[in-house]
Amino acid sequence: MADQNFIDYVKICCRSGHGGAGSAHFHRDKMTPKGGPDGGDGGRGGNIILRGNAQMWTLLPLKFKKHVIAGDGGSGGSSRSTGASGQDIILDVPLGTVAKDAETEEVHFEINDDGETRILVSGGRGGLGNEHFKSATNQTPRYAQPGEEGKTEWKILELKLLADVGLVGFPNAGKSTLLSSVTAAKPDIANYAFTTLVPQLGLVRYRDMRSFVMADLPGIIENAHLGKGLGIRFLRHIERNSVLLFVVSCDSDDINNDVEVLLNELRQYNPELLDKKMLLAISKADMLDEEMIAQLNPSIKVEMPFLFISSVSGYGLEKMKDMIWNMING
C-alpha cells in the first residue's frame, strides 16, 4: 500500500437534516367548504450513516471531505400527506473503523462486517400536522408542529487494521524484511530506523491452501505511549490482532530487556493487550551458527514462546508459521 494513501484517522463535521414542518391545512373541496384539519406530518431529516466495505483499506476518500451534510425533510401537505424524508448520506468505510465523538472521545460503535450500517448522526424528526391536535374542545387547530432541528457534530473516524498477527518491535528490528519474506507484500526496507511509516498488510500462505493476515506496524520505541517516536498513533492497530509477534534482533545488547520495554509500552497504552497470545521471534539468526544459538538459548528469560528466525535464509520460518497457526486456531 502506498504510504501517502494510507489514512487511518479523519475528523469530519457532520450535519444531519432538519425535520420538515407539519402542515396546518384544512380539508376543502366543492362539497366541503369548511372541512376539518388534515395537515400531514413533516418528513424526517436525513441521517449520516456509516457502511462497512470490505473492499476498502483506508479512510482516504474521507480525508478531504471535512463537512458532510444530509438533506432536510419536506413539509407536510394536505390530505394527511407526509413530507418527503431528507436524503441520507452514506459513507463507506473499511472494516475495523471506530466512530468517536470529537469532543468527549466517547466511542459510539465499530464497523466490523461488510455491508453493516450504523447511524453516525440522526436527522431531526418531522413535525406533526394539525390533524394530530384536534380534540372535542379544539376542532379546528390552526397550528402545527415545526420540524426538529438537525444536529451538527464533529466526529472522529479511526481505522484499526483487522489482521491475525501484528509485528511488534523496535525500529530496524527486521519486521519489514520478515513480512516481505513470508508474504507478497513489498514494504520499504532500509538499514535505518522508522523505514516503515504506515502499517503494511500481507497474506501469509500456510499449509493446505490455508492463510492468515500479518500486519507490519511502525517501530515502537521506549516511551512511545508518551508520544515519542511515532507515539501511540499506530498502537491502536495492535488492539485488533489475535497474536502479537515480537521481533527482536539477535544482535541486541539485551533481548530480555528489549522485550520488557515493548511489553511496558503496550501495558501503558492498554493493559488488556497483554492478554493476547504472544510469540517472540529473534531475527537475523543467519548471523549465528548452531553453537551460538545453543549458547544464547538459555539466556532468554521471557514469559512467552520464542524461536530464532532468519528472513534472509528462511531459517525457522516454517516453524514460526506452525506456531502462529496453532495460536490463532488454538
DSSP 285: G
The pairing of strands 211-216 and 243-249 is unpaired
- How far is Cα 300 from Cα 118, in angstroms, rounded to an integer? 48
**Rounded mean pLDDT of 81-96?**
94
**139 and 249 assigned to the same domain:** no
Confidence of residue 192 (pLDDT cuts 50, 70, 90): very low
Please, is 298 exposed, middle or buried when counting C-beta atoms within 10 Å of its C-beta (0-12, 13-18, 19+)?
exposed
The arithmetic mean of pLDDT across residues 90-101, rounded, is 93
Q: Which domain does 18 fall in, by range?
A: 1-159
Tell me if 145 sits within 8 A of 157, measured CB to CB.
no
For 202, the grid coordinates are 500481507
pLDDT tier, 194 (very low <50, low <70, confident <90, very high otherwise): very low
Which residues face 69 on adjacent strands? Answer: 15
Please state, in angstroms and rounded to a whole number, the distance separating the CA atoms of residues 150 and 72: 8
Q: Are residues 9 and 88 in the same domain?
A: yes
Residue type, 310: S
C-alpha cell of 128? Answer: 406533526
Domain count, the chain: 2
* Final residue belonging to a domain, choices 118, 138, 159: 159
- Range 171-197 average pLDDT: 64
Does 325 lie in the same domain as 211? yes
Residues 6+ apart with CB under 8 A from 134: 36, 37, 140, 141
**Type of residue at 282:** I
Q: Are residues 15 and 58 in the same domain?
A: yes
178 and 127 part of one domain: no
For residue range 32-72, list pLDDT tens digits in order: 888 889 999 999 999 999 999 988 878 888 988 889 999 99
All cell numbers assigned to 64: 478531504
Q: Answer whether residue 172 shows pLDDT above 80.
A: no
Question: At a CB cut-off of 8 Å and minimum separation 6, what does 329 contact?
Answer: none
Q: Identify whether residues 256 and 191 lie together within a single domain.
A: yes
Is there a single domain that holds both residue 127 and residue 247? no
Residue with cell 520488557: 260
Which residue, 107, 128, 159, sits at the end of a domain?
A: 159
DSSP secondary structure letter of residue 198: S
Look at residues 159, 180, 214 and tell me which one is the last residue of a structural domain.
159
- 210 and 140 inside one domain: no
31 and 48 share one domain? yes
What nine digits make up the cell of 134? 384536534
Indicate the pairing of strand 200-205 with strand 9-15: unpaired
- Number of neighbours of residue 139 by Cβ within 10 angstroms: 9
Same domain, 176 and 146: no
Tell me the three state secondary structure of residue 275. helix
- 119 and 255: one domain? no
Q: What is the CATH number of the domain that holds 259?
A: 3.40.50.300
Segment 61-87 mean pLDDT: 93
Give strand pairing partners of 49: 90, 119
Q: What is the pLDDT of residue 225?
A: 45
Q: Are strands 152-159 and 9-15 parallel, antiparallel or unpaired?
A: antiparallel
Residue 223's pLDDT is what?
53
CA separation for the pair 164, 160 (Å, rounded)? 12
Mark whether 149 and 177 lie in a shared domain.
no
pLDDT at site 198: 62
